Amino acid sequence: MRKRFYYIIICLITSLSLFGFNLSDKNEDKAKAGKKEDHCITCHKEMENMPKDFSENNVHLHANLTCASCHGGDPNSADQESAMNPAKGFIGIPKRKDIPKLCGKCHSNIDYMRTYQPRIATDQVEQYYTSMHGKKLLAGDENVAECTSCHTAHNIMPVKDPRSTVYKLNIPNTCNKCHGNTDMMKKYNLPGNPLEEYTKSVHGEALLKNKDLGAPACNDCHGNHGAMPPGITSISHVCGICHASNMEYFNSSKMAKVFQEQDFHGCEQCHGNHAIQKPNDNMIGDDKESKCNDCHSKGDAGFDASVKIKGLLVNLKNKYDDANAKYLEVKQKGMNDVEIGFLLQDAKQALIQSRTLIHTFDTAKVGTRTDDGIGISEKASVLAQKEIDEYYTRRNGFAAATFAFLIFAVALYFKIKEKNIKKKVG
């Protein structure tokens, strides 16, 4: 009887404290927001009339904004008609063309946004209207992306959150909702397969397969809000954000000026855009795949430079390969490979840098670096050959010693045997 009494008391205390805890928690939230209960969300949940993409984790809910922050109306009223009254600013479902302005109400207001994040950008709407998307939306095209096409409306997360539709790894799929829609893209004469090509490119493999966040997603080349194809003159700058030396060499070359005058597409002219592959030495010289042959032919200065540069590269590559084969032999024979290893690292560096220096399209500049690399490779080869020779000398010495020892052992054996026979006979 007493036991039961205590049990009831404990239950009462626990439930009261739990209830009290909850209450104070809610009060705290409300105090932060300076608002009463959000009746919009309460009623919509009760009526099972929540928007399809709604998530409790969305950034606006976390910042204590209400449904009315975007839709207007009176969140303090529990009555549907008075809550959703146009007289109280209720706008219903915003039209697509009005959405940028709606988001911009807060996101273009620097004083307001700073109270949440001191360094958040407030130029999204302004940027947006410079993009093809923004221009077309203004002109009444409803197929193009507005803010919620890329961000959703009720599931917006901070950009750095891996669940965000604009988190780096998710961006290609977000753009592809429309850009992979071949029927839609046909109307604009745009190819409907950037993602397909991108996925197989060096960049797509690095980002999507190896999760290398340093590789570019669509927005790194096109911009986020100002999404545009990079203009012809800016392509090399876009690539140069990450490939700084290539850009620097290319821009200071004679060819860069001609490229601008003749509207060639910078890096894209030789490497493509969405399907960029790992380059190889056949892209230069007199090969069928040589990019130089797209514009140069036998007899002109560009063709000559192309063949010469190819020769320099092939020479260095062969010397490096020779040295490397010997290095592997030295390693396998267990001889001293340390210094050869260091030399080969330097030679490899020279090979990599020579391929970057191609972008000067200057035989002399490439030649200086390939000469370095050839010198180092030859030195490594000589050292490696020494170690290999040393190995055989030692091995021959060892064989001779073993042979001498064998002869000695056999001789000893017969000597002992002879003695034993003599003893028995004696």
Nearer CB in complex with ligand HEC: 215/350 = 215
Q: Which listed range, 7-15, 23-31, 226-234, 327-335, lies at the site for ligand HEC (CB under 6 A)?
A: 226-234
| Sole binder of ligand HEC in the list 192, 302, 311, 375 (CB under 6 A) | 302
360 binds ligand HEC (CB under 6 A): no
CB-CB contact of 250 with 267 (8 Å): yes
CB-CB contact of 285 with 307 (8 Å): yes
Torsion 257-263-269-275 (CA) sign: positive
Shortest Å distance, C-beta 404 to ligand HEC: 55
- 12 token code pair: 């009462």
Q: How many CB atoms lie within 10 A of CB 56?
A: 8
Nearer CB in complex with ligand HEC: 105/419 = 105
Shortest Å distance, C-beta 23 to ligand HEC: 22
Rounded CA-CA distance 347/370 in Å is: 9
- 185 token code pair: 């893209």
Q: Which amino acid is at 317?
A: K
**φ/ψ (deg, to 5) at 326:** -65, -40
Q: Which listed range, 17-25, 27-35, 152-160, 399-407, lies at the site for ligand HEC (CB under 6 A)?
A: 152-160
Nearer CB in complex with ligand HEC: 24/49 = 49
DSSP 39-92: HHHHHHHHTT---TT--TT-HHHHTT--HHHHH-S-TT--SHHHHT-GGGT---
Total residues in contact with ligand HEC, by rule CB under 6 A: 142
132 binds ligand HEC (CB under 6 A): yes
151 binds ligand HEC (CB under 6 A): yes
| String of contacts with ligand HEC for each residue 227-246, x by CB under 6 A | xxxx----xx-xxxxxx--x
Q: Which amino acid is at 337?
A: D
| Sole binder of ligand HEC in the list 30, 55, 106, 346 (CB under 6 A) | 106
Q: Which listed range, 5-13, 24-32, 195-203, 322-330, lies at the site for ligand HEC (CB under 6 A)?
A: 195-203
Nearer CB in complex with ligand HEC: 128/327 = 128
Q: What is the 3-state secondary structure (H, E, C) of 113-154?
A: HHCCCCCCCCCHHHHHCCCHHHHHHHCCCCCCCCHHHHHCCC
159 binds ligand HEC (CB under 6 A): yes
350 binds ligand HEC (CB under 6 A): no
Q: Which amino acid is at 386?
A: K
Residues 258-287 that bind ligand HEC (CB under 6 A): 258, 264-271, 273-274, 276, 278-281, 283-284
255 binds ligand HEC (CB under 6 A): yes
Task: Give the Å distances, CA to CA, from 285 to 254, 289, 317.
Answer: 18, 9, 15
373 binds ligand HEC (CB under 6 A): no
370 binds ligand HEC (CB under 6 A): no
CB-CB contact of 38 with 63 (8 Å): no
DSSP 203-216: HHIIIIIT--TTS-
311 binds ligand HEC (CB under 6 A): no
Nearer CB in complex with ligand HEC: 232/388 = 232
| Sole binder of ligand HEC in the list 31, 47, 87, 409 (CB under 6 A) | 47
51 binds ligand HEC (CB under 6 A): yes
Rounded CA-CA distance 278/136 in Å is: 36
Residues 83-102 that bind ligand HEC (CB under 6 A): 83-84, 92-94, 99-100, 102
User: For 129-156, b where at least 16 C-beta lie within 10 A, e where not — what string?
Assistant: eebbbbeebeeeeeebbbbbbbbbbbbb
Residues 55-84 that bind ligand HEC (CB under 6 A): 59-60, 63, 65, 67-71, 73-75, 78, 80, 83-84
Shortest Å distance, C-beta 269 to ligand HEC: 5
Which is nearest to 334 in space by CA: 402, 385, 387? 387
Please identify which residue in the block is written with the tokens 């021959």.
396
215 binds ligand HEC (CB under 6 A): yes
364 binds ligand HEC (CB under 6 A): no
Q: Which listed range, 185-193, 324-332, 387-395, 401-409, lies at the site for ligand HEC (CB under 6 A)?
A: 185-193
367 binds ligand HEC (CB under 6 A): no
